[in-house]
Chain A
Amino acid sequence: MAALGLFANGLVFSSIIVLGSIGLSLVYGIADFANFAHGDTMTVGAYAALVTLGALGSVGPSLFGLPAAFFLALCAGFVVAALVAVATEKLVYEPLEIGSIGLLITSIGVAFIYRGLVQMVFSAESARYEVRQLRPIEALIPYGVRVTYHDVVIVVTSVVLVGTLHVLLRYTDLGRKMRAMADNPELARVSGIRTDRIRLVTWVVGGGLAGVGGVFLGLFNRLSPRMGFNLLLLVFAAVILGGIGSVYGAMLGGLLIGMVHEAMPLLSDLGTLLPLVPDAVGIPVGIEYAEAVAFVIMVAVLLVRPTGIAGEGG
């Protein structure tokens, strides 16, 4: 019973991680550097939604316990985060003539600028969206599952977005070009693909999804200027677990890392859950180490299989 509830929580948290990790993996594959500003792009999306929601108010019909304005705010989160990502690419990354390590270091500076500006405008205090707090759905409580309609919105929207991205990548010309470029940018360019245009599309998709992930993170917990940076390492763990540059790997990695993060209480009584294992067996790790366990998994994956689950070749 408890396992089912943790599984449901894991699904909600995973959705947020997946939204972040897809963008990070896309940028890692196509722009070829580890973007440390990705977490703070999520923060930017979250605060853009906060401003939109504040301006529109919670009028209009409500859906799943959320006002219609929230869904507009979600779109605002996508658009603003995508715009910020594209502007950063144009202003900062594109003119640079340094390798991927230089870009990595630059992206740390970009992350600080985002976070510093957000903190200047909205203060370091945490904030909440102006939406009604919901009680868990009654019908599911007997099964040990305590999720709200907000959580349902998070999961459903993420599934829709991931599905859309899948269609875009698999069945459109643009998606084929993006996959070609992630595989081999040089070859893509000599085949006549306008690689700089694809790079921009990558930033739009990656930044936008990060923005949506940030809005959901704000709905799931609270908003604070550090929210994105705090999540960044988990998102990296998901990307590395899935295989850098692989979008499908990032989805799988995000799902696994989110599950591990939420299912920590199960580790201590592992024995009672698994068949063939004595009941006393368990890994006594407290939930305060949930993120630490995810990081250790990340390092272990890097050592044993640096290409991740879905990656091929170095």
Chain B
Amino acid sequence: MVDIDVDAGPLGEMTATEQGVTAVVVAFGAVLLFGLLSGRLAPTYFLFLVGLAGMYALLSLGLNSQWGFTGLINFSVAAFFGIGAYGAALTTASSSPVAGGFNPAYGLVVALVAATVLALFIGLPTLRLRADYLAIASLGLAEVVRRVVLNERRWTNGNLGVRGIPGFFDGWPVLSTFPEAIPGLRIAVPLGATVELGEPFYRMLLNVLLVTVFVVGSYLLLSRVHRSPWGRVLRTIRADEDLARALGKNTYRFKLQAFVLGSLVMALAGVFYAHLNLFVSPATLEPITTFYVWVAVILGGTGSTRGAVFGGVVVVVLREGTRGLAGLEGIPLDAPSLRLVLIGLLIVLLMRFRPQGVLPPQRELIWPDVVDEAPDRPETGVREARGDGDD
């Protein structure tokens, strides 16, 4: 038997798929770096893409804590994303029909409170339902929310959407003037024209900073929560709800808690979107967003926190990639159709060949210290422990 070298660094401890994913990520990063250095990819647009990827990662993290941890089929992701975006927009925007012009920090609070209320409004009635009924009911209620936003013009401006949303850091002590204060840079990149880093670049950099804080915060919180006793109950509910109930757990209450928690993370993504795009419209609540996030979670690996982040990034690559592909000469396809077909094919192929996703949860369900302290092999052989099998 070949002795496997266990001390070969982090790469050696990975499974084959993990190595594959790492290779793809590194290769993709290299392509992006080349694009940046050769001037083909504008740095500001690149940062915008990073922001979008972070936003989808947040949405996937939220859905993952509902579907991946607890097994709740929530098809109302777009509603929570939308309520987050509208909550922030209506509080902060200059053109807000309600009471705009507040500091974005208040917008964040309003968005989170609104998302909690909506989560209770959708969750309280539907979480008692069977899984497939929950799917249909939540999709229906998300559609009700979209209709309300579309038609209640007094409150939401209806079809026109809300304009004039400030950046998230406007009104903050140092950060609000940061983009103008920093002198513009002209960098002569080695492989192409000079790249100018001006005010828009720094503005986008702040956005990326914001989404990074959101993603890292949610990631740490959710991984911690997933391993906690509370998270274990959720996993039991997902595996066998009757068992959890037999153990004396009030499963409805746990499901509701998980539902609200996930919805808050989705609303965070909405808040970020409002301050990234500076404009929100009822199109934000279209059900297609929900299904993009579902693809991200299933692709990443249901129940896997890092998988959710990975899936979110892949979905942005798919979304923006089809835009680029359809823009090429000689391909007579329009981007939205191509995107729909690709997303559909991805779902069908995943369910056929890898329903557990690319990065299914493995060690992340165990406390890391336990893994670190565990010996690589038993300290004594089985035979020795039994005393050489004499007795």
Contacts of A303 in B (CB 8 A): 125, 128-129
Task: Find B133's partner among A96, A286, A302 (CB 8 Å cutoff).
Answer: A302
- Take A102-B351, A286-B151 as given contacts and tell me if A109 and B143 are in contact as well, using a CB distance cutoff of 8 Å: no
Indicate whether A299 sits within 8 Å of B126 (C-beta atoms), given known contacts A34-B136, A306-B133: yes
For B348, list chain A residues within 8 Å (CB).
92, 106, 109-110, 113
Assuming the contacts A292-B143, A292-B148, A298-B137, asked whether A120 and B351 have C-beta atoms less than 8 A apart, the reply is: no
The answer on a CB contact under 8 Å between A96 and B344 is no
> How far, in angstroms, from A298 to B137 measured CA to CA in the complex?
7
Q: Which residues of B contact A104 (CB under 8 A)?
A: 73, 132, 135
Q: Which residue of B lies closest to A286 (CB)?
A: B151
Residue A105 CB within 8 A of the other chain = yes
In the complex, what distance in Å separates the CA atom of A288 from the CA atom of B144?
A: 11
Which residues of chain A (21-56) have a CB below 8 Å from chain B?
33-34
Taking a contact as CB atoms closer than 8 A, the residue among A113, A119, A289, A298 that contacts B140 in the complex is A298
Cβ contacts B127-152/A at 8 Å (1 or 0 each): 01111110111011101100110110
Question: Would you call A98 an interface residue if the criterion is a C-beta within 8 Å of the partner chain's C-beta atoms?
Answer: yes
B97 → chain A closest CB, angstroms: 18
Does B244 lie at the interface of the complex (its beta carbon under 8 Å from any beta carbon of A)?
Answer: no
Contact A119 B151 (CB under 8 A): no
The one of A102, A112, A236, A292 in contact with B291, judged by C-beta atoms closer than 8 angstroms, is: A112
Q: Is the CB of A289 within 8 A of B147?
A: yes
Closest to A100 in B: B132
Contact B344 A110 (CB under 8 A): yes
For A96, A112, A233, A288, which residue has the most chain B Cβ atoms within 10 angstroms? A112
CB–CB B136/A105 < 8 A: no
Q: How many residues of A contact B (CB 8 A)?
A: 42
CB-CB nearest in chain A for B128: A303
Task: Check if A108 is an interface residue, CB within 8 A of chain B.
Answer: yes
Whether the pair B140, A233 counts as a contact (CB closer than 8 A) is: yes
A174-228, CB < 8 A from B: none
If over half of A's interface residues share one DSSP class (helix, strand or loop), that class is named, otherwise mixed; here it is: helix
Complex Cα–Cα for A240 and B134 (A): 12
Q: Does A63 contact B (CB under 8 A)?
A: no
The answer on a CB contact under 8 Å between A295 and B144 is yes
Chain B minimum-CB-distance residue to A314: B130
Mostly, the B contact residues are helix
Q: Are B132 and A101 in contact (CB under 8 A)?
A: yes
Contacts of B129 in A (CB 8 A): 302-303, 306
Q: Which of B125, B126, B298 contacts A105 (CB 8 A)?
A: B298
How far is the CB of A301 from the nearest CB of chain B, in Å? 10
Are B132 and A95 in touch, CB under 8 angstroms?
no
Complex Cα spacing A95 to B183, Å: 61
Is A83 in the interface zone, CB < 8 Å from B?
Answer: no
> Which residues of B (309-358) have their CB < 8 Å from a CB of A?
333-334, 336-348, 351-352, 355
Q: Once bound together, how far apart are the Cα atoms of A78 and B80, in whole Å?
A: 39
Residues 115 to 169 of chain A near chain B (Cβ within 8 Å): 115-117, 119-120, 123-124
Contact B355 A289 (CB under 8 A): no
**Identity of the chain B residue whose Cβ is nearest the Cβ of A92 in the assembled complex:** B348
User: Is B56 close to A, CB under 8 A?
Assistant: no
Q: For the complex, what is the distance from the CA of A302 to the CA of B135, rounded to whole Å?
A: 12
Residue of B132, B143, B338, B341 near A291 (CB, 8 A) is B143
Distance of A108 from chain B, by nearest CB (Å): 6
CB-based contact B144/A113 at 8 Å: no
A237 contacts B by Cβ under 8 Å: yes
Interface contact tally, CB-CB below 8 A: 123
Q: At the interface, yes or no: A296 with Cβ under 8 Å from chain B?
A: yes
B128 shortest CB reach to chain A, Å: 7
Partner of A96, one of B336, B341, B351: B351
Given A96-B351, A98-B355, A288-B147, CB of A115 within 8 Å of CB of B340? yes
Are B147 and A95 interface neighbours, CB within 8 A? no
A227 to chain B, nearest CB (A): 15
Interface positions, chain A 277-314, Cβ under 8 Å from B, are 286, 288-289, 291-292, 295-296, 298-299, 302-303, 306
Chain A residues closer than 8 Å to B345, beta-carbon distance: 109, 113
B147 engages A291 (CB within 8 Å): yes
In the complex the two chains form, is B338's CB within 8 Å of A116's CB? Answer: yes
Q: Collect the chain A residues with CB atoms within 8 Å of residue B147's CB.
A: 288-289, 291-292
Q: Is the CB of B73 within 8 A of A296?
A: no
**Which of A34, A117, A296 has a CB less than 8 Å from the CB of B341?**
A117
Are B352 and A96 closer than 8 Å at their CB atoms?
yes
Asked whether, in the complex, the Cβ of B140 is within 8 Å of the Cβ of A120, the reply is: no
Say which residue of B125, B150, B151, B341 sits within 8 Å of A299 (CB atoms).
B125
Q: Is there contact, CB below 8 Å, between A109 and B340? A: no
Asked if A120 contacts B148 (CB within 8 A), the reply is no
Q: With a CB–CB cut-off of 8 A, which chain B residues contact A100?
A: 132
Complex CA–CA separation, A113 to B351 (angstroms) = 15
Contact A112 B294 (CB under 8 A): no
- Please report the C-alpha to C-alpha distance between residue A159 and residue B344 in the assembled complex, in whole angstroms: 35
- Per-residue CB contact flags for chain A residues 71-106 toward chain B (1 = under 8 Å, else 0) read 000000000000000000000100110101110111
Q: How far is the CB of B298 from chain A (nearest CB, A)?
A: 7
User: In this complex, what residue of B is CB-closest to A98?
Assistant: B355
Q: What sequence of 0s and 1s flags, for each residue 173-217 of chain B, a beta carbon within 8 Å of any chain A beta carbon?
A: 000000000000000000000000000000000000000000000
Min C-beta distance of B120 to chain A, whole Å? 15
Given the known interface contacts A119-B336, A119-B337, A292-B147, the answer about A108 and B141 at a Cβ–Cβ threshold of 8 Å is no
Chain B 219-249 near chain A by CB (<8 Å), digits 1 or 0: 0000000000000000000000000000000
Partner of B336 from A34, A106, A124, A291 at Cβ < 8 Å: A124
Q: Which of B147, B148, B342, B351 has the most CB of A within 10 A?
A: B351
Assess the A120–B352 pair: CB atoms within 8 A. Answer: no
Which 9 pairs between the two chains have the least Cβ-Cβ distance? A109-B347, A112-B344, A116-B340, A116-B341, A295-B140, A113-B344, A119-B337, A120-B337, A109-B348
- Sample (12) of A-B pairs whose CB atoms are under 8 Å apart: A113-B344, A113-B345, A120-B333, A233-B139, A240-B136, A292-B147, A296-B140, A299-B140, A302-B137, A303-B125, A306-B129, A306-B133
Interface residues of B (CB under 8 A from A): 73, 125-126, 128-133, 135-137, 139-141, 143-144, 147-148, 150-151, 291, 294, 298, 333-334, 336-348, 351-352, 355
Other than the given A92-B352, A292-B143, 4 more pairs (CB < 8 A) read A102-B351, A102-B355, A295-B143, A303-B128
